[in-house]
Structure 1
Amino acid sequence: MKNLKIKPQRLGLLAVISLMCAVTACHDFFEKNIEDNVVLMVSPTDGGSSPIYLQKFIWKPVNGAREYHIQLVTPSFDKLSQIVMDTVVASTNLMVTLTPNKYQMSIYAQNAGYQSKVTTISFDITESYDLSPQEMNPTQPTNLSATNATAITFRWDTITGATSYSFELFDANGKTVGGAIPVTTNSITIPSSDTKIEQLTEQAYSWRIFARNEISDSKAIISRFTVDRTAPVQPKTLQPNESDTTKVATSLFSWTKNADTGTPIADSIIIASDQGFGTIVKRALCTNNSFSYTFPSSVATYFWKLKQSDAAGNTTETQPRKLLVLPQ
């Protein structure tokens, strides 16, 4: 074999890159420098005042940012009384239900190597006994989620000035389940003796919650979820067959799905070097009912199986299959 020669210019470039990676970490080297950028807030505005408790924090995206670090305090960072929120989000918006008070918020963008300049705004939330302009914020189950739980707890943000709440649940046809249920806390569980509602059947549901006091009701936001407790139907016509032998370094695994009426299903292939799957050599999510894998160039026996998981958390696995791999 001929000796591999690297041109001096190439060697110099590699040395520079290696040195920079060692000093700053490689991911920092390839991240966009956003240190001079500023996060521009859209809502709320600096110095603003609002009687709406459910605040929608919106800001413009920073090119090169992976996420945003937000801190919210009362009444200010200089005269700190309470840290209301300290969180990192990947989106450019966030909804938070607040109580009447003075607030100060800071936000900056960040990626694996850099962070932007800090933007700070101040605003007030004023108190109003009239609940009619207020919006509810249902938090659990999250909107458009799926669950396989037998007991489901519904939660929402509390509203200042509310003396009670009215909970309503609807089935897939829009028919009420149990009618309007009065609640004095910010949660309710089904089934329970308080609701007199049986365990929910497998279907799509929607629910809403109203805050109430002696003079008014709040607005409500419809939230939807699906109950699915049925495991995915196992796939058919899996390839390779049990105890197949292959002389091809790269093997194609494939399967055919059965019809499934439940929540969306994700396929994962698991390849191991032992029948008990104690030593996993490859685990990967799959698309298009297939997966391609290149085995090491040596004689070895492998075992593989397919795991299917739906959005509600139900899973099913195929029986392990043995595959003998021979060198070409």
Structure 2
Amino acid sequence: MMPSIQNIKSYFISGVQFILLGVVITGCDDITEIPDISDKEVLLIAPADGTTVRGNAVTFTWQPVEDAESYILQVATPGFPNASQVVIDHTIERDTSDNSLATSYSKEMLPNTYEWRVKAVNSGYETPFSTNAFTLTESDGFSENTVILNAPEDNQVTNEAEITLSWSAITEATGYRIQILDDSESVVQEEETAETSLEVTFEEGGFTWQVRAEKDAESTLYSSREILVDLTVPNTPALTAPADDSATGDTEITFSWNRENVPGSAEYDRISVYSDESLETLVTEEDVNTKTFTATLEEGTYYWNVQSFDRAGNEGGVSSTFSFTIN
């Protein structure tokens, strides 16, 4: 049966017709439809329309849109569509470490009148822009400023213990106070510096790092981010099926193995199946989260092993290699 093609959109640009398909065709029996988000709306949270923001920076926030793969944030002065300057044109992509998609963005900005807008995008569709206007004015005092954190990114997952924390300078600040908090929100380290960066050696675990600017007896609120430090490699998998040197008449093979997870970042396994004992001719390879994998293979002898990884970048040892034959 021939697959049907739906959600066809046609565009004309400079006399050339472009066709956008809302369906990805991977075979007659395997059609993946891209969710249509074009009728959804991005609900903006802050700055609310018509508000006045005081300080040196603005944090833009909005509600998540289901099936979005990214967001496009734009900020213009004095506004759209007749902008004299677009001061922010930023695409927010999914975090590859945990597949999360942020719904906020902070930026230092000069006092002025602005409009900001956001739209959600996936590989086939996009929502309309949602737009709010706001005015940014200078703060009444030093304490109303906001420290903008630069690196590492929020919810960073890493296998490095030595990390350089950095942030943007605050005018008139005489110094900065940095605190490291553990999972119980206890301060495990506190430092003061006149610089806008600090190298910290973390222990393993989840932490909050936060920075505030200080001027004499005045200080800003803390700006904070989360970080997960994972220094432990995953355990080596133990293969269970198909058994080593086994034979079967089935061409659909279900591979399985055992491995105890270790605390830290999310772990996954990479199974590799070869058609030669020297492990040079790869038949199939897949990253899986379930410690099992099913593949349809032709008759012959195969060799397979599994290696484990985690989202922090740690690599476990490669398992022993098993062989089996399909008759």
TM-score, normalised by the number of residues in structure 1: 0.74
1:105 to 96, 106, 116: 116
2:160 alignment counterpart: 149
Asked if the contact 2:72/2:89 (under 8 Å) is kept, the reply is no
1:236 alignment counterpart: 238
Asked if the contact 2:76/2:83 (under 8 Å) is kept, the reply is no
2:204 to 188, 202, 205: 202
Asked if the contact 1:166/1:180 (under 8 Å) is kept, the reply is yes
Structure 1 residue 96: deviation in Å?
0.8
Q: How do residues 104-123 of structure 1 correspond to structure 2 at under 5 angstroms?
A: 104-123=115-134
2:14 alignment counterpart: none
3-state SS of 2:73 partner: strand
Compare CA radii of gyration and give the structure with the larger one.
1
| Residue 265 of structure 1 pairs with residue 275 of structure 2 | no
* Residues 99, 56 of structure 1: alpha-carbon distance in 2 compared, 3 angstrom cutoff: closer
Write the letter of the residue equivalent to 2:188.
Answer: T
1:57 to 60, 82, 86: 60
Q: Quick check: 56-65 or 217-226, which moved more?
A: 56-65
Residues in 1 aligned to 2:8 and 2:138: alpha-carbon distance in whole angstroms: 55
Residues in 1 aligned to 2:188 and 2:243: alpha-carbon distance in whole angstroms: 50
Structure 1 residue 208: deviation in Å?
1.8
Q: Alignment RMSD, CA only?
A: 3.6
Whichever structure has more helix as a proportion of its residues is 1
Structure 1 residue 244: deviation in Å?
3.1
Residues in 2 aligned to 1:268 and 1:234: alpha-carbon distance in whole angstroms: 11
1:86 alignment counterpart: 90
Write the letter of the residue equivalent to 1:266.
Answer: Y
3-state SS of 1:121 partner: strand
Structure 1 residue 125: deviation in Å?
1.5
2:135 to 118, 124, 127: 124
Asked if the contact 1:167/1:183 (under 8 Å) is kept, the reply is no
Residues in 1 aligned to 2:128 and 2:118: alpha-carbon distance in whole angstroms: 9
| Residue 162 of structure 1 pairs with residue 173 of structure 2 | yes
3-state SS of 1:323 partner: strand
Structure 1 residue 87: deviation in Å?
1.4
Q: How do residues 1-328 of structure 1 correspond to structure 2 at under 5 angstroms?
A: 14=2, 17=5, 24-25=20-21, 27=23, 30-31=33-34, 35=38, 38-60=41-63, 65-76=68-79, 78-81=82-85, 83-89=87-93, 91=101, 93-102=103-112, 103-128=114-139, 130-170=141-181, 174=186, 176-177=188-189, 179-185=190-196, 187-190=197-200, 199-214=201-216, 216-236=218-238, 238-258=240-260, 260-275=262-277, 277-296=279-298, 298=299, 300-319=300-319, 321-327=321-327
Whichever structure has more strand as a proportion of its residues is 2
Asked if the contact 1:305/1:318 (under 8 Å) is kept, the reply is yes
Asked if the contact 2:57/2:108 (under 8 Å) is kept, the reply is yes
* Residues 124, 306 of structure 1: alpha-carbon distance in 2 compared, 3 angstrom cutoff: same
Unmatched 5+ stretches in structure 1: 1-10, 191-198
Write the letter of the residue equivalent to 1:326.
Answer: I
Structure 1 residue 115: deviation in Å?
3.0
Q: Quick check: 89-98 or 123-132, which moved more?
A: 89-98
Write the letter of the residue equivalent to 1:146.
Answer: V
Structure 1 residue 181: deviation in Å?
2.2
Asked if the contact 1:163/1:184 (under 8 Å) is kept, the reply is no
Q: Encode CA deviations 1:140-195: one digit per residue, 9 max, x unaligned.
A: 33444432224311123444553431122356783533x4221322x2223xxxxx
Q: Encode CA deviations 1:185-213: one digit per residue, 9 max, x unaligned.
A: 2x2223xxxxxxxx544344442211122
Structure 1 residue 231: deviation in Å?
1.5
Structure 1 residue 258: deviation in Å?
3.6
Write the letter of the residue equivalent to 1:176.
Answer: V
